[in-house]
Amino acid sequence: MEGLNVTLGGLRLGTPLLSASGVYSLDYEQLASCAPYMSAAVTKSVTLHPRPGNPEPRIHETRAGMLNAIGLQNPGIAAFVAEEIPKLRALEVPLIASVAGSEVDEYVQCAEILNAREEIHAIELNVSCPNVEKGGIEFGCDPGVLEELVARAKKVVPGKTLIVKLTPNVTDIAATAQAAVNGGANALCIINTLRGMAIDIEKQKPALANKIGGLSGIGIHPVAVYAVYKCYTACCKKHNVGIIGLGGVTNAGEALELILAGATCVGIGTAMFREPNVFEDVAKEIQAYLKRKGIASVNELIGKAVG
Protein backbone atom coordinates (compact mmCIF):
# COMPACT_ATOMS: atom_id res chain seq x y z
CA MET A 1 0.00 0.00 0.00
CA GLU A 2 1.26 3.47 -0.90
CA GLY A 3 3.52 4.95 1.77
CA LEU A 4 3.26 1.84 3.98
CA ASN A 5 6.07 -0.40 2.66
CA VAL A 6 8.63 -1.31 5.31
CA THR A 7 11.58 -3.71 5.66
CA LEU A 8 12.01 -5.71 8.84
CA GLY A 9 15.12 -7.84 9.32
CA GLY A 10 15.43 -8.22 5.54
CA LEU A 11 11.71 -9.00 5.02
CA ARG A 12 9.98 -6.61 2.62
CA LEU A 13 6.43 -6.00 3.80
CA GLY A 14 3.54 -4.19 2.14
CA THR A 15 2.27 -2.60 5.35
CA PRO A 16 3.76 -2.32 8.86
CA LEU A 17 0.86 -4.37 10.32
CA LEU A 18 1.27 -7.99 11.45
CA SER A 19 -0.92 -10.38 13.40
CA ALA A 20 0.12 -11.11 17.01
CA SER A 21 1.11 -14.68 17.77
CA GLY A 22 -1.60 -16.89 19.21
CA VAL A 23 -4.50 -14.51 19.18
CA TYR A 24 -6.08 -15.71 15.95
CA SER A 25 -5.21 -19.23 16.86
CA LEU A 26 -5.87 -21.16 13.68
CA ASP A 27 -8.91 -19.27 12.45
CA TYR A 28 -7.84 -18.97 8.82
CA GLU A 29 -11.01 -17.31 7.58
CA GLN A 30 -10.56 -14.43 9.97
CA LEU A 31 -6.87 -14.17 9.13
CA ALA A 32 -7.58 -14.28 5.40
CA SER A 33 -10.00 -11.38 5.69
CA CYS A 34 -7.18 -9.24 7.16
CA ALA A 35 -4.95 -9.57 4.07
CA PRO A 36 -3.80 -7.41 2.25
CA TYR A 37 -3.76 -4.94 5.15
CA MET A 38 -1.89 -7.46 7.29
CA SER A 39 1.58 -7.83 5.74
CA ALA A 40 2.58 -11.06 7.50
CA ALA A 41 0.91 -13.66 9.67
CA VAL A 42 2.57 -14.77 12.89
CA THR A 43 1.51 -18.27 13.93
CA LYS A 44 0.57 -19.48 17.38
CA SER A 45 3.70 -20.65 19.21
CA VAL A 46 4.54 -24.24 18.30
CA THR A 47 6.51 -26.67 20.46
CA LEU A 48 8.35 -29.89 19.60
CA HIS A 49 5.62 -32.08 21.10
CA PRO A 50 1.84 -31.44 21.24
CA ARG A 51 0.60 -29.50 24.27
CA PRO A 52 -3.00 -29.69 25.51
CA GLY A 53 -2.82 -26.26 27.16
CA ASN A 54 -4.15 -25.31 30.59
CA PRO A 55 -7.53 -26.29 32.05
CA GLU A 56 -10.50 -23.91 31.60
CA PRO A 57 -11.38 -21.20 32.35
CA ARG A 58 -8.32 -19.78 30.66
CA ILE A 59 -9.61 -16.42 29.38
CA HIS A 60 -10.89 -13.62 31.60
CA GLU A 61 -11.98 -10.19 30.41
CA THR A 62 -10.83 -7.20 32.48
CA ARG A 63 -11.84 -3.55 32.28
CA ALA A 64 -8.73 -2.73 30.28
CA GLY A 65 -7.99 -5.86 28.29
CA MET A 66 -7.97 -9.57 28.91
CA LEU A 67 -6.11 -12.19 30.89
CA ASN A 68 -5.25 -15.46 29.20
CA ALA A 69 -3.64 -18.67 30.37
CA ILE A 70 -3.95 -20.77 27.23
CA GLY A 71 -0.74 -22.58 28.15
CA LEU A 72 0.72 -22.85 24.65
CA GLN A 73 -1.88 -25.32 23.38
CA ASN A 74 -0.63 -26.53 20.00
CA PRO A 75 -0.48 -29.74 17.92
CA GLY A 76 3.33 -30.03 17.99
CA ILE A 77 5.77 -29.28 15.21
CA ALA A 78 5.10 -32.41 13.09
CA ALA A 79 1.34 -31.77 12.82
CA PHE A 80 1.98 -28.03 12.42
CA VAL A 81 4.19 -28.68 9.39
CA ALA A 82 1.90 -31.32 7.87
CA GLU A 83 -1.50 -29.73 8.49
CA GLU A 84 -1.23 -26.06 9.43
CA ILE A 85 1.46 -24.73 7.10
CA PRO A 86 -0.47 -25.68 3.94
CA LYS A 87 -3.55 -23.81 5.22
CA LEU A 88 -1.53 -20.79 6.31
CA ARG A 89 0.17 -20.69 2.92
CA ALA A 90 -3.20 -20.02 1.32
CA LEU A 91 -3.24 -16.63 3.06
CA GLU A 92 -0.65 -15.46 0.51
CA VAL A 93 1.20 -13.32 3.02
CA PRO A 94 4.68 -14.03 4.42
CA LEU A 95 4.55 -16.47 7.34
CA ILE A 96 6.37 -15.97 10.60
CA ALA A 97 6.44 -19.16 12.69
CA SER A 98 6.52 -18.66 16.43
CA VAL A 99 8.50 -21.27 18.36
CA ALA A 100 8.47 -22.08 22.09
CA GLY A 101 10.10 -24.67 24.31
CA SER A 102 11.24 -25.65 27.77
CA GLU A 103 14.85 -26.40 26.81
CA VAL A 104 17.29 -24.75 24.42
CA ASP A 105 17.42 -27.96 22.36
CA GLU A 106 13.64 -27.89 21.88
CA TYR A 107 13.80 -24.39 20.36
CA VAL A 108 16.76 -25.39 18.19
CA GLN A 109 15.09 -28.56 16.89
CA CYS A 110 11.88 -26.68 16.01
CA ALA A 111 13.85 -23.89 14.33
CA GLU A 112 15.82 -26.44 12.31
CA ILE A 113 12.64 -28.15 11.08
CA LEU A 114 11.09 -24.81 10.12
CA ASN A 115 14.26 -23.62 8.43
CA ALA A 116 13.78 -26.41 5.89
CA ARG A 117 10.31 -25.07 4.93
CA GLU A 118 10.41 -22.49 2.16
CA GLU A 119 6.84 -21.38 3.09
CA ILE A 120 8.18 -19.97 6.36
CA HIS A 121 9.85 -16.58 5.90
CA ALA A 122 10.90 -15.87 9.47
CA ILE A 123 11.09 -17.56 12.85
CA GLU A 124 10.01 -15.82 16.04
CA LEU A 125 11.36 -17.17 19.34
CA ASN A 126 8.77 -16.85 22.12
CA VAL A 127 11.11 -16.72 25.12
CA SER A 128 8.38 -16.33 27.75
CA CYS A 129 8.58 -20.03 28.62
CA PRO A 130 10.05 -21.45 31.82
CA ASN A 131 13.47 -23.02 31.22
CA VAL A 132 13.22 -26.44 32.88
CA GLU A 133 16.98 -26.90 32.72
CA LYS A 134 17.49 -23.75 34.82
CA GLY A 135 14.85 -24.35 37.46
CA GLY A 136 11.88 -22.74 35.74
CA ILE A 137 13.08 -19.15 35.22
CA GLU A 138 11.82 -17.85 31.88
CA PHE A 139 14.38 -17.75 29.05
CA GLY A 140 13.50 -14.14 28.40
CA CYS A 141 14.28 -13.04 31.97
CA ASP A 142 17.96 -14.02 32.00
CA PRO A 143 20.15 -12.14 29.50
CA GLY A 144 22.91 -14.79 29.61
CA VAL A 145 20.57 -17.69 28.89
CA LEU A 146 18.71 -15.65 26.27
CA GLU A 147 21.89 -14.79 24.37
CA GLU A 148 22.88 -18.46 24.28
CA LEU A 149 19.42 -19.52 23.10
CA VAL A 150 19.36 -16.92 20.31
CA ALA A 151 22.91 -17.74 19.19
CA ARG A 152 22.11 -21.47 18.98
CA ALA A 153 18.88 -20.85 17.08
CA LYS A 154 20.60 -18.40 14.73
CA LYS A 155 23.09 -21.06 13.65
CA VAL A 156 20.31 -23.35 12.37
CA VAL A 157 18.28 -20.69 10.51
CA PRO A 158 20.97 -19.14 8.29
CA GLY A 159 18.60 -18.21 5.50
CA LYS A 160 15.70 -16.81 7.51
CA THR A 161 14.91 -13.73 9.53
CA LEU A 162 15.21 -14.50 13.25
CA ILE A 163 12.90 -12.51 15.52
CA VAL A 164 13.03 -12.63 19.32
CA LYS A 165 9.86 -11.78 21.24
CA LEU A 166 10.64 -10.15 24.56
CA THR A 167 8.71 -10.35 27.80
CA PRO A 168 7.86 -7.13 29.69
CA ASN A 169 8.06 -9.09 32.98
CA VAL A 170 11.64 -7.98 33.66
CA THR A 171 13.29 -5.11 35.51
CA ASP A 172 15.38 -3.97 32.53
CA ILE A 173 14.00 -4.86 29.09
CA ALA A 174 16.93 -3.05 27.39
CA ALA A 175 19.27 -5.68 28.89
CA THR A 176 17.31 -8.57 27.37
CA ALA A 177 17.04 -6.70 24.06
CA GLN A 178 20.82 -6.29 24.03
CA ALA A 179 21.27 -10.00 24.79
CA ALA A 180 18.99 -10.96 21.88
CA VAL A 181 20.89 -8.61 19.55
CA ASN A 182 24.24 -10.03 20.75
CA GLY A 183 22.92 -13.52 20.01
CA GLY A 184 22.21 -12.51 16.40
CA ALA A 185 18.51 -11.53 16.34
CA ASN A 186 17.52 -9.77 13.09
CA ALA A 187 14.48 -8.17 14.73
CA LEU A 188 12.76 -7.96 18.11
CA CYS A 189 9.07 -8.28 18.92
CA ILE A 190 8.08 -6.15 21.91
CA ILE A 191 5.99 -7.01 24.05
CA ASN A 192 4.43 -10.28 25.15
CA THR A 193 1.70 -10.20 27.84
CA LEU A 194 2.17 -8.76 31.34
CA ARG A 195 1.73 -11.25 34.18
CA GLY A 196 -1.59 -10.72 35.98
CA MET A 197 -4.35 -12.23 38.05
CA ALA A 198 -8.07 -11.72 38.76
CA ILE A 199 -10.25 -13.06 41.57
CA ASP A 200 -13.90 -14.08 41.28
CA ILE A 201 -15.27 -12.56 44.50
CA GLU A 202 -18.46 -14.65 44.48
CA LYS A 203 -16.58 -17.95 44.23
CA GLN A 204 -13.69 -16.48 46.24
CA LYS A 205 -11.30 -18.16 43.83
CA PRO A 206 -8.94 -17.06 41.04
CA ALA A 207 -10.85 -16.30 37.82
CA LEU A 208 -8.42 -18.47 35.79
CA ALA A 209 -7.97 -22.18 36.52
CA ASN A 210 -4.23 -21.58 36.17
CA LYS A 211 -4.55 -18.80 38.83
CA ILE A 212 -2.23 -16.45 36.93
CA GLY A 213 -2.28 -15.37 33.29
CA GLY A 214 -0.98 -12.81 30.82
CA LEU A 215 -2.65 -9.42 30.41
CA SER A 216 -3.11 -8.12 26.86
CA GLY A 217 -5.20 -5.37 25.25
CA ILE A 218 -5.61 -1.65 25.77
CA GLY A 219 -4.33 -1.55 29.37
CA ILE A 220 -0.81 -2.60 28.36
CA HIS A 221 -0.36 -0.12 25.49
CA PRO A 222 1.68 2.51 27.41
CA VAL A 223 3.91 -0.30 28.73
CA ALA A 224 4.53 -1.40 25.14
CA VAL A 225 5.36 2.16 23.99
CA TYR A 226 7.83 2.50 26.86
CA ALA A 227 9.44 -0.90 26.14
CA VAL A 228 9.83 -0.12 22.42
CA TYR A 229 11.36 3.29 23.24
CA LYS A 230 13.81 1.71 25.73
CA CYS A 231 14.98 -1.02 23.34
CA TYR A 232 15.14 1.27 20.30
CA THR A 233 17.27 3.89 22.03
CA ALA A 234 19.40 1.41 24.02
CA CYS A 235 20.49 -0.85 21.15
CA CYS A 236 18.13 -1.44 18.22
CA LYS A 237 18.77 1.86 16.45
CA LYS A 238 22.55 1.51 16.81
CA HIS A 239 22.59 -2.08 15.49
CA ASN A 240 19.91 -1.46 12.85
CA VAL A 241 17.66 -4.16 14.36
CA GLY A 242 13.99 -3.60 13.56
CA ILE A 243 11.22 -3.81 16.14
CA ILE A 244 7.70 -5.19 15.91
CA GLY A 245 5.87 -3.14 18.55
CA LEU A 246 2.70 -4.62 19.97
CA GLY A 247 0.48 -4.36 22.99
CA GLY A 248 -3.01 -2.94 23.13
CA VAL A 249 -3.20 -1.46 19.64
CA THR A 250 -6.82 -0.76 18.71
CA ASN A 251 -6.46 2.18 16.29
CA ALA A 252 -4.02 4.04 14.02
CA GLY A 253 -3.05 6.53 16.73
CA GLU A 254 -1.82 3.74 18.99
CA ALA A 255 0.03 2.06 16.09
CA LEU A 256 1.69 5.39 15.21
CA GLU A 257 2.77 5.87 18.84
CA LEU A 258 4.70 2.59 18.66
CA ILE A 259 6.29 3.57 15.32
CA LEU A 260 7.25 7.03 16.60
CA ALA A 261 8.81 5.30 19.66
CA GLY A 262 11.01 3.14 17.38
CA ALA A 263 8.94 0.28 15.95
CA THR A 264 9.18 -0.60 12.24
CA CYS A 265 6.13 -2.85 12.40
CA VAL A 266 3.07 -3.09 14.62
CA GLY A 267 1.38 -6.28 15.80
CA ILE A 268 -2.34 -6.43 16.51
CA GLY A 269 -3.85 -9.10 18.74
CA THR A 270 -6.60 -8.67 21.31
CA ALA A 271 -8.29 -5.83 19.35
CA MET A 272 -9.24 -8.41 16.74
CA PHE A 273 -11.73 -10.02 19.13
CA ARG A 274 -13.81 -6.83 19.14
CA GLU A 275 -13.03 -5.34 15.76
CA PRO A 276 -12.59 -7.76 12.82
CA ASN A 277 -11.76 -4.85 10.45
CA VAL A 278 -9.04 -3.43 12.66
CA PHE A 279 -6.24 -4.11 10.12
CA GLU A 280 -8.05 -2.35 7.30
CA ASP A 281 -9.06 0.59 9.50
CA VAL A 282 -5.57 1.07 10.96
CA ALA A 283 -3.82 0.79 7.57
CA LYS A 284 -6.14 3.31 5.91
CA GLU A 285 -5.96 5.71 8.86
CA ILE A 286 -2.15 5.60 8.83
CA GLN A 287 -2.25 6.49 5.12
CA ALA A 288 -4.63 9.38 5.88
CA TYR A 289 -2.26 10.57 8.65
CA LEU A 290 0.72 10.50 6.25
CA LYS A 291 -1.25 12.54 3.73
CA ARG A 292 -2.41 15.05 6.34
CA LYS A 293 1.18 15.52 7.58
CA GLY A 294 2.68 15.62 4.05
CA ILE A 295 4.90 12.59 4.72
CA ALA A 296 5.74 10.24 1.83
CA SER A 297 6.54 7.09 3.79
CA VAL A 298 5.86 5.61 7.20
CA ASN A 299 9.61 4.87 7.38
CA GLU A 300 10.20 8.57 8.08
CA LEU A 301 8.31 8.18 11.36
CA ILE A 302 10.30 5.30 12.87
CA GLY A 303 11.73 6.53 16.18
CA LYS A 304 11.02 10.18 15.25
CA ALA A 305 9.58 11.06 18.67
CA VAL A 306 12.54 9.72 20.63
CA GLY A 307 15.58 10.84 18.57
Ligand X SMILES: Cc1cc2nc3c(=O)[nH]c(=O)nc-3n(C[C@H](O)[C@H](O)[C@H](O)COP(=O)(O)O)c2cc1C
**Residue 189 falls in the annotated catalytic set:** no
Question: 184-205 as b/e, with b when 16 or more CB fall inside 10 Å?
Answer: bbbbbbbbbbbebebeeeeeee
Written as one letter, the residue type at 7 is T
Q: Which is nearer to ligand X, 104 or 244 (CB)?
A: 244
Q: Can residue 22 be called a binding residue for ligand X (CB under 6 A)?
A: yes
- Separation of alpha carbons 299 and 13, rounded Å: 12
Active-site residue (options: 34, 110, 129, 265): 129
Q: Quick check: 269 binds ligand X (CB under 6 A)?
A: yes
What residues does 46 pair with on adjacent strands? 99
246 in contact with ligand X (CB under 6 A):
yes
User: Any contact of residue 75 with ligand X (CB under 6 A)?
Assistant: no
Q: What is the closest distance, in whole angstroms, from the C-beta atom of residue 278 to ligand X in the complex?
A: 10
Main-chain dihedrals φ then ψ at residue 279, nearest 5 degrees = -65, -45
User: 170 or 307, CB closer to ligand X?
Assistant: 170
**According to the binding rule CB under 6 A, does residue 102 interact with ligand X?**
no
Q: From 133-141, 170-178, 242-250, 285-293, give the range in contact with ligand X by CB under 6 A.
A: 242-250
167 binds ligand X (CB under 6 A): no
Q: Please spell the DSSP secondary structure of 204-245, one letter per residue.
A: TEESSTTSEEEEESGGGHHHHHHHHHHHIIIIIHHHT-EEEE
Length of the chain: 307
> CA 272 to CA 277: how far, in whole Å?
8
- Does 38 sit near ligand X (CB under 6 A)? no
Catalytic residue numbers read: 129
Task: Catalog residues that contact ligand X under the rule CB under 6 A.
Answer: 20-23, 44-45, 68, 70, 72, 98, 126, 165, 192-193, 216-217, 220, 246-249, 268-271
